[in-house]
């Protein structure tokens, strides 16, 4: 079977507190985009993973897709194997949830291949133990995500809009970004409820040009190119532009396809990691099953 594991963007990202165990409490509006990795899963005697498309992504225990497969097999008491092939297209270290998307697609695929047939809620529990974004990547749609990622509230399909993704610099350390946030003062918090109301009503015009990501302000001093890319997207006609997740990618949302195409061509000449895509509802798409 072949799957598309879709990236995501954060329309908003807020941090509302911290648990006693150190985990940050989040409040986010997230949505899948069409940009995706391709995952092929075939029956095999052993459980293996191969990766193509980039040398930066490991094929060992550091890869969330393989860890998800092993976690599902342990939890289900399953002894079957699978040959998993991962073709990377989502930029790494970008805040686009590529690793989480891969893990979600593997959980869904192996749940079917191995005949486990657990409900989505149970897969989400396994996913959460591996990464905070995985429950959303299993659920999809426009969603409000709270807690440490376990509280996913789907809000409908959301708007399907042209989107330009730019990664203007090298990856950021997620841990360092969160540490900088913890020591920061006077961080502006997004009005997540207002952005939610605008998106669920289909009113892109009511979404602020920079709807709010509290990690953006502490990331820009580390990578000034992030601010440069946001400004370039807005200058190119984006209705909305900001950093996604903990960076270092930024996204621009356009009301129309043609301006997005022009922006992607112009910005792609400046920053090689540039993708023209769209927002959508599905987090994982089945391409073929034979």
Q: Each residue of 196-223: pLDDT tens digit?
A: 999 999 999 999 999 999 999 999 999 9
Q: Which pair of structure tokens corresponds to residue 71?
A: 């976690």
Beta-bridge mates of residue 144: 29, 153
pTM, whole model, 2 decimals? 0.96
Instruction: Give how far the C-alpha of residue 182 lies from the chain's centroid of Cα atoms, to the nearest Å.
Output: 22
Helix (H, G, I), strand (E, B), or coil: what is residue 93?
coil
| Nearest-10 crossing angle of helices 98-113, 64-76 | 30
> Could you give the residue numbers annotated as active site?
8, 133
- Please check whether residue 280 is in contact with residue 7, taking contact to mean a CB–CB distance below 8 angstroms: no
Q: Each residue of 61-70: pLDDT tens digit?
A: 999 999 999 9
Q: How far apart are CA 91 and CA 248, in angstroms?
A: 10
First to last CA, the chain: 6
φ, ψ of residue 268 to 5 degrees: the values are -65, -25
In three-state form (DSSP H/G/I as H, E/B as E, the rest C), the secondary structure along 50-83 is EEECCCCCCCCCCCHHHHHHHHHHHHHCCCCEEE
Q: How far apart are CA 245 and CA 133, in angstroms?
A: 10
Q: Which pair of structure tokens corresponds to residue 72?
A: 């599902």
Q: Which residues contact 265 (CB under 8 A, 6 or more apart)?
A: none
Complete domains list, the chain, with CATH: 2-156 (3.30.230.10), 162-278 (3.30.70.890)
**pLDDT digit of tens for each residue in the chain (290 aa)?**
999 999 999 999 999 999 999 899 999 999 999 999 999 999 999 999 999 998 888 899 999 999 999 999 999 999 999 999 999 999 999 999 999 999 999 999 999 999 999 999 999 999 999 999 999 999 999 999 999 999 999 999 999 999 999 999 999 899 999 999 999 988 999 999 999 999 999 999 999 999 999 999 999 999 999 999 999 999 999 999 999 999 999 999 999 999 999 999 999 999 999 999 999 999 999 999 87
Instruction: Give how far the C-alpha of residue 65 lies from the chain's centroid of Cα atoms, to the nearest Å.
Output: 14
Q: Which residue has the tokens 């509802």?
A: 281
Q: Which pair of structure tokens corresponds to residue 177?
A: 């970004």
């Amino acid at each position: 079977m072949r799957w598309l594991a879709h990236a995501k963007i954060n329309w908003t990202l807020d941090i509302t507190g911290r648990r006693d165990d150190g985990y940050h409490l989040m409040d986010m509006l997230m949505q899948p985009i069409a940009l995706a990795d391709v995952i092929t899963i075939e029956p095999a005697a052993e459980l293996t993973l191969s990766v193509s498309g980039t040398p930066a992504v490991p094929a060992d225990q550091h890869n969330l897709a393989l860890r998800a497969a092993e976690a599902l097999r342990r939890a289900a008491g399953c002894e079957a194997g699978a040959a998993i092939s991962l073709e990377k297209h989502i930029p790494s270290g970008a805040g686009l949830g590529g690793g989480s998307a891969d893990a979600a697609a593997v959980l869904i695929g192996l749940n079917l291949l191995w005949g486990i047939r657990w409900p989505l809620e149970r897969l989400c529990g396994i996913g959460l133990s591996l990464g905070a974004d995985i429950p959303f990547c299993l659920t999809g749609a426009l969603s409000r995500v709270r807690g440490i990622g376990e509280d996913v509230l789907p809000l409908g399909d959301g708007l399907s809009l042209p989107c330009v993704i730019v990664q203007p610099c090298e990856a950021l350390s997620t841990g360092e970004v969160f540490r900088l946030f913890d020591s920061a003062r006077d961080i502006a918090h997004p009005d997540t409820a207002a952005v939610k109301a605008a998106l669920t009503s289909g009113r892109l015009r009511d979404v602020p040009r920079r709807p709010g990501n509290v990690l953006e302000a502490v990331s820009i001093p580390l990578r000034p190119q992030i601010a440069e890319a946001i400004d370039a997207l807005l200058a190119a006609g984006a209705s909305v532009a900001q950093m996604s997740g903990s960076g270092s990618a930024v996204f621009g949302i356009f009301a129309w396809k043609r301006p997005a195409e022009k922006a992607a061509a112009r910005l792609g000449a400046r920053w090689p990691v540039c993708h023209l895509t769209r927002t959508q509802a599905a987090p994982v798409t089945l391409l073929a099953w034979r």
